[in-house]
Amino acid sequence: MPQFVDLHCHSTASDGTFAPADVVRLARDSGLAGLALTDHDTIGGVAEAAAEAEKLGLAFLPGIEISCEYPHPGTMHILGYGVDPENPALRDLTTALLAGRDDRNPKIIKRLQELGVAITMAEVEAEAGGTVIGRPHIAAILLRKGYVGSIKAAFNEYLAPGGKAYFDKERLSMAEAMRRIRQSGGMPVLAHPVQLRTTNDAELERVVKDLVDLGLVGLETIHSDHDAALVEKYTRLAERFGLLKTGGSDFHGTNKKDIRLGTANGRQVPLAFMEALMKRHQELRRAG
């Protein structure tokens, strides 16, 4: 029987709506053999998820997802697999990432208030429940209060680039993000390359080549935003650059209603992807 995993998902530690242990239980209930938790800018959910995975006998990898400086309209997200929670470099990294949010979020709220929306930073903090406060938490409040009809609409009208209350956050450069993931004992992987919105294959290859030169370990070939043609294209690209293939749903619970844990646009992620990542992690650790 083939076994499957999900290497990209979010919990309440960032902008998912399931607690870390609940994500792991859902993985078990969905028949998955393993999971990596990849919350934005934090490993705050990793200890709880790891404990639950151990209890349920699922393979588990700690992870983090970081967005880097990248020209609009694209976005570059780097996943860091196997980061070490005890590593001081990781603590410094997450502190810096949170500072970027703490600077941006009040600007969004102030602008929304100027637009006549009844919303406060305290409400957003309560909605988030944890340390990482993101736009989906603001979107959830706009939806609940009836200002918009969906999370998507909240982004389109207010929170996405071009929206009435859009503010960008301070981001790390791609080189800095790569360096700090590696310093933290992690393996950098390019998330959902489709979201780079590169205009042609040559440009995509240049970006991947630059990342490879900075120590990229893998490419997320399977993702909810990738159709069959893209999976095929990114698989060939990964093979050409000697990169590991990874994949995941990008599950966010009810913040992304159409995404189910363990399934990415109809595809599943083979356990072998996760085993190869774990093996590479051991090799890298042994090499120091």
Instruction: List residues binding ligand AMP (CB under 6 A).
Output: 15, 40, 134-136, 151-152, 155, 160, 252
Nearer to ligand AMP by Cβ, of 135 and 182: the residue is: 135
Nearer to Fe ion by Cβ, of 134 and 185: the residue is: 134
DSSP 8-state secondary structure symbol assigned to residue 89: H
Decide which of ligand AMP, Zn ion, Fe ion, none touches 152; Cβ closer than 5 to 8 Å per partner kind: ligand AMP
Nearer to Zn ion by Cβ, of 41 and 250: the residue is: 250
Q: Which of 12, 33, 77, 188 binds Fe ion (CB under 5 A)?
A: 77
- Residue ranges in 54-113 that form contacts with Zn ion under rule CB under 5 A: 65
Q: Is 257 helix (H, G, I), strand (E, B) or coil?
A: coil
Nearer to ligand AMP by Cβ, of 119 and 278: the residue is: 119
Nearer to ligand AMP by Cβ, of 134 and 193: the residue is: 134
What tokens appear for 146 in the block? 């009836």
Contacts of 263 (CB under 8 A, 6+ apart): 249
Nearer to ligand AMP by Cβ, of 160 and 214: the residue is: 160
* In the complex, least distance from residue 29 CB atom to ligand AMP, rounded to whole angstroms: 23
Decide which of ligand AMP, Zn ion, Fe ion, none touches 155; Cβ closer than 5 to 8 Å per partner kind: ligand AMP
Contacts of 247 (CB under 8 A, 6+ apart): 7, 8, 220, 221, 222, 223, 264, 267, 269, 273
Count of CB atoms situated within 10 Å of the CB of 38: 33
What tokens appear for 217 in the block? 């370990």
Q: Is 35 helix (H, G, I), strand (E, B) or coil?
A: strand
Residue showing the smallest CB distance to Zn ion in the complex: 250
- Residue ranges in 191-220 that form contacts with Fe ion under rule CB under 5 A: 191
Decide which of Zn ion, Fe ion, ligand AMP, none touches 151; Cβ closer than 5 to 8 Å per partner kind: ligand AMP
Residue 250 interacts with Zn ion (CB under 5 A): yes or no: yes
Nearer to Fe ion by Cβ, of 33 and 234: the residue is: 234
Q: Is the dihedral of CA 221, 222, 225, 229 positive or negative?
A: positive
Helix intervals (H) in the chain: 20-29, 46-56, 88-114, 121-128, 135-144, 151-154, 174-183, 201-213, 228-240, 271-287
Contacts of 48 (CB under 8 A, 6+ apart): 19, 20, 21
* In the complex, least distance from residue 159 CB atom to ligand AMP, rounded to whole angstroms: 7
* In the complex, least distance from residue 283 CB atom to ligand AMP, rounded to whole angstroms: 31
What tokens appear for 280 in the block? 């590479």
Q: Which of 15, 39, 41, 52 binds Fe ion (CB under 5 A)?
A: 15
Number of residues counted as binding Fe ion (CB under 5 A): 3
86 φψ region: left (φ > 0), alpha (ψ -120 to 50), beta (else): alpha
CB-count exposure of residue 281 (10 Å: 0-12, 13-18, 19+): middle
List interacting residues with Zn ion (CB under 5 A).
Answer: 65, 250
List interacting residues with Fe ion (CB under 5 A).
Answer: 15, 77, 191
